[in-house]
Amino acid sequence: MTGDVDCAGTDANVFINIMGSKGETGRIKLAKSQTFLNKFERGHVDIFQLESMDIGDLSRVIIEHDNRGIGRQGC
């Protein structure tokens, strides 16, 4: 869920890497939300479907963004 406070949303590209005991997905861009056309907006719960090899037991999740998109002037 994107936070529900002023300036919580982002227009940046967001990526996820899911790591497990047998490997990792690698850096995947979260490109198309199944719930909202305009993803990562304030108060939204965005759902993404990913396909991957068997990575085993979950050990770590890294979520990052590239700071692109509309700036945060006034926030």
**Tens-digit pLDDT string for the chain (75 aa):** 888 898 888 989 999 999 999 999 999 999 999 999 899 999 999 999 999 999 999 999 999 999 987 655 556
Residue spans per domain, the chain: 14-65
49 forms beta bridges with none
**Tokens found for residue 60:** 């770590």
